[in-house]
A and B are shown apart, each in its own frame.
Chain A
Amino acid sequence: MRARIALLAYLAAIVLGTTVHEIEVLALGLVLVLALAGRDWVRILRRACIAILLFNLVVTLSYGVIAGLQGTFSLAFVVLVNLRVLLLTCLTFLFVSRVNAFEALAFSRSLTYLFTLAYSQSMAFKQALEDFRLAFKSRRIEQVGLRDRYRHSASMAVHFLDKSLHRATEITQVMRSRGFFDA
């Protein structure tokens, strides 16, 4: 119940963050979110900055060039849009760090199961992808050709599918043995 209430509060804050267009209010909101984050504020702010950096940089630079050429450049818009995106992203990371998202989103048992399983598989994929990347990097002494890169990617895909199917089947058997599918 507490998770659901937190989810509703989070969604209300998100909507509020997109209906306010005053820079001062958005800045105040960001300070409030970081204050709520407590000792995690640096970590959350850092994560949010990294997450939005590429896209916002591309939008800001593109806007700077195009609006500059048209003579319509507005620094206030640049600050407004970047501040809003930063606020929304910090809010999301604060929500995820404080609330059990699986509990908050548990509207249906089957969906929750699928969500949990897909999440665990995604994290396993992500970790394995990074391991493969580092292994590939550490074992080459010269530039690798495109053909070898494709072959490496294909091998990874086969590995991911086989290993994950095996693990997912194991999880299903565990769930079955505990009566998940009996209801």
Chain B
Amino acid sequence: MHIPDGFIAPQMYLPAYGVAAGFWAYGARRLRTALREEIIPRLAVLTAFCFVVMMVMVPLPGGTSAHATGIALLAIVFGVWTAFVSVSLVLLLQALLFGAGGVTSLALNALAMGLVGSAVARTSYLLLRRFHQGFALVAAGWLSVNVSALLIALALGVQPVIAHAEDGQPLFFPFGLSVTLPAVMIPHALIGIGEGVLTLLMFRLLSQRGWVARR
């Protein structure tokens, strides 16, 4: 669901960097207090896991891509702020090494996927696990993907409105919300199921390895 480089106007990505910078600073401070020796390697492993999962991208009509993220798993195991910083690192690595996503869209991708996606996943998991842990994990995965995708679709869809030439031609992303919302959301409704199942299976695996408590 990454937004590639060059499709977001500076009127949007520069303020997004301003907002993200504050959250990154706060997240880094939270991360420093949370980092213990045994946490660092585990966090690095799950960050790398997210990296690999996000590398398997399927392009969608309308200019974005679809893939699982592993973000819900990070948020549930380590918390929202740690997940946010880790996902931001993954996005940075992908942008620098592979040109996937991009530097101009990094802040927007990080806020949508890393911060909001993590917060939605963690909150929904905590609310739903009292009823059924398996369902809570699947729901957290589905919601994290779809809420993030909704934000990405909105960000892309407003580009023709906020950045266009005098003759009305778009300067960045050319499609409005009537194209981006269905083009992004319909595939992600299905991908979210995969993300949910992935979250459930990986959580069970981590439980078996003693990384997380089963309840």
A55 touches B43 (CB 8 A): no
Given contacts A62-B61, A110-B31, contact A18 B4 (CB under 8 A): no
Which of A15, A19, A115, A160 is in CB contact (< 8 Å) with B89?
A115
Measured as residues with beta carbon below 8 angstroms from the partner, the interface class of chain B is 35 or more
Interface residues of B in 15-63 (CB under 8 A from A): 28, 31-32, 35, 37-38, 40-45, 47-49, 51-52, 55, 59-63
CA separation between A66 and B174, bound complex, in Å? 10
**Are B103 and A154 within 8 A (Cβ)?**
no
The interface-forming segment of A29-37, A141-149, A165-173 is A165-173
Q: What CA separation (Å) do A79 and B100 show in the bound complex?
A: 21
- Known pairs A89-B99, A110-B35; A118 contacts B51 (CB<8 A): yes
- CB <8 Å contact, B209 and A114: no
- Chain B residues lying within 8 Å of A158, measured Cβ to Cβ, are 205
A107–B92 Cα gap in the complex (Å)?
14
Interface 1/0s, chain A 87-102, versus B by CB < 8 A? 1110011011000010
Q: Is the CB of B172 within 8 A of A122?
A: no
With A51-B100, A118-B93, A122-B52 as contacts: A164 and B174 at CB distance below 8 Å: no
Smallest Cβ distance from A44 to chain B, in angstroms?
Answer: 10
- Do A101 and B4 touch across chains, with their CB atoms under 8 A apart? no
